Amino acid sequence: MFKRISGLVLAGLTAMSVAACGSGGSDTSANTTGGGDSTITMGFSQVGAESGWRTANTKSVQDAAKNASITLKFSDAQQKQENQIKAIRSYIQQKVDVIAFSPVVESGWDTVLKEAQNAKIPVILTDRAVDSKDTSLYKTFLGSDFVEEGRKAGKWLVEEYKDSTDPVNIVELQGTTGSAPANDRKAGFQETIGAESKFKIIASQTGDFTRAKGKEVMEAFLKSNPDIDVLYAHNDDMGLGAIEAIEGAGKVPGKDIKIITVDAVKDGMQALADGKINYIVECSPLLGPQLMDLAKKVVKGEQVPARVVTEETVFTQEEAKKVLSTRQY
Ligand code: GYE
């Protein structure tokens, strides 16, 4: 269950046109000038635009490429693996210097990564991992420890109910099925609450990391489960959608149903400060600068660490009030 740290593939960022990217994806490129590194072209295949986190991550990558004078070929896969594979193949064809990608799901990357390797194009995994056994298929994986994020969510819950012996009925909104953050946030949470039988996950379903799906699935949860104590949502957006469903059902989010989410984007932090969410585990989307540094190194053939873990914290309602005005995203 925790095997995937070694299996992460970060797609390389290369600068070339992605004209052949195919249906469903949208591609843009931003050329930059000046500097000795201006010759580096990165092909970047993004997951999509499903959440506030993703929007902040895309901006971070684009801004950092500009600052590092790296030419960025950017492609949005709209949460579809086939679009990412097409984009990566297109980057290979265009002979970009480095490919970076955030794999929408963990499995099914070996063939295309082998193609990049055969073309001698280094690949960097960013944000999400792959489960490939052959870790030589990518140079490094830059991103959060999602299992740890799940544990942090579980620890808060254990503490919150430490004096209670009554059953605690939990519903879970999972991220995109098969994605590293969905698998790992579930596993870390389960590991932490699993020791106490009073914690019961009475329903668990994917909300695809989107607000709309989070709302829809929470509505269904509320219809079939009259007695929900806690919602654990794998990201803020699904939690925010669920808040609408809870209010729609005449209940008070944060009170009648306690809510834990992951990400800490501004809208999530606002809901936390407003008392509608009870606890947020931070997951930083600001991976751009580190990604560009790693890209420069791998293009030069320098050694880089196999795993670069993002530093993150957690927020209570009081802490959210303090930092809200300075939150960048
Ligand atoms: O938590 C979620 C997004 O992969 C860490 O993807 C990322 C997750 C993030 O859609 O909001």
Token pair for residue 293?
């540094």
Which tens digits make up the pLDDT trace of 136-177? 999 999 999 999 999 999 999 999 999 999 999 999 999 999
pLDDT over threshold 80, residue 30: no
How far is Cα 246 from Cα 242, in angstroms, rounded to an integer? 6
The reported pLDDT for the residue numbered 1 is 35
pLDDT over threshold 80, residue 5: no
- For residue 47, the CA-to-ligand 1 centroid distance in Å is 9
Tell me how far the alpha carbon of residue 276 is from its chain's centroid.
23
How far is Cα 112 from Cα 36, in angstroms, rounded to an integer? 30
The reported pLDDT for the residue numbered 212 is 98
Decide if 104 contacts 179 (C-beta within 8 A). Answer: yes
Domains of the chain: 26-144+285-311 (3.40.50.2300), 146-283 (3.40.50.2300)
Cβ of residue 184 lying under 6 Å from some atom of ligand 1: no
Confidence of residue 328 (pLDDT cuts 50, 70, 90): confident
What are the strands, taking DSSP E only, across the chain? 26-30, 41-46, 71-76, 98-101, 123-126, 140-143, 168-174, 199-206, 230-233, 258-263, 279-282, 307-309, 314-315
Task: Tell me what the mean pLDDT of segment 107-125 comes to.
Answer: 98
Token pair for residue 138?
């990518």
What's the order of all strands across the beta sheet hosting 279-282? 199-206, 168-174, 230-233, 258-263, 279-282, 314-315
Decide if 288 contacts 61 (C-beta within 8 A). Answer: yes
Which of 141, 235, 237 for mutating ligand 1's site (highest number of atoms within 8 Å of CB)? 235
Cβ of residue 45 lying under 6 Å from some atom of ligand 1: no
The reported pLDDT for the residue numbered 27 is 53
User: pTM of the full predicted structure?
Assistant: 0.89
How far is Cα 305 from Cα 61, in angstroms, rounded to an integer? 20
pLDDT over threshold 90, residue 14: no
pLDDT over threshold 50, residue 31: no
The reported pLDDT for the residue numbered 22 is 38
Q: For the chain, how big is the Rg over CA atoms in Å?
A: 20
How far is Cα 212 from Cα 87, in angstroms, rounded to an integer? 27
Which tens digits make up the pLDDT trace of 276-316? 999 999 999 999 999 999 999 999 999 999 999 999 999 99
Ligand 1 atom nearest to CA at 180: 4
Q: Which residues of 254-283 are buried (b: 16+ CB within 10 A; e: fewer)?
A: beebbbbbbbbbebbbbbbbeebbbbbbbb
The reported pLDDT for the residue numbered 48 is 98
Which tens digits make up the pLDDT trace of 78-89? 999 999 999 999
The residue behind tokens 């530093």 is 311
Cβ atoms < 10 Å from Cβ of 108 = 17
Ligand 1 atom nearest to CA at 143: 5
Ligand 1 atom nearest to CA at 52: 11
Cβ atoms < 10 Å from Cβ of 27 = 18
Ligand 1 atom nearest to CA at 236: 11
Task: Tell me what the mean pLDDT of segment 232-250 comes to.
Answer: 98
Helix, strand, coil shares, percent, the chain, to 5:
40, 20, 40
Which tens digits make up the pLDDT trace of 180-197? 999 999 999 999 999 999
Share of the chain above pLDDT 90, in %: 88
Ligand 1 atom 8, closest CA: 181
pLDDT over threshold 50, residue 319: yes
- For residue 159, the CA-to-ligand 1 centroid distance in Å is 26
Cβ of residue 209 lying under 6 Å from some atom of ligand 1: yes
Partnered with residue 76 across adjacent β-strands are 26, 46
Share of the chain above pLDDT 70, in %: 88
Task: Tell me what the mean pLDDT of segment 68-86 comes to.
Answer: 98
Task: Tell me what the mean pLDDT of segment 49-58 comes to.
Answer: 98
Which of 209, 234, 261, 287 for mutating ligand 1's site (highest number of atoms within 8 Å of CB)? 209
- For residue 263, the CA-to-ligand 1 centroid distance in Å is 7
Which of 10, 46, 54 for mutating ligand 1's site (highest number of atoms within 8 Å of CB)? 54
DSSP 18: -
- Following DSSP, what letter does each residue of 113-154 receive, concatenated? HHHHHHTT--EEEESS----S-GGGSSEEEE--HHHHHHHHH
Average pLDDT, the chain: 91
Cβ of residue 53 lying under 6 Å from some atom of ligand 1: yes
- For residue 284, the CA-to-ligand 1 centroid distance in Å is 9
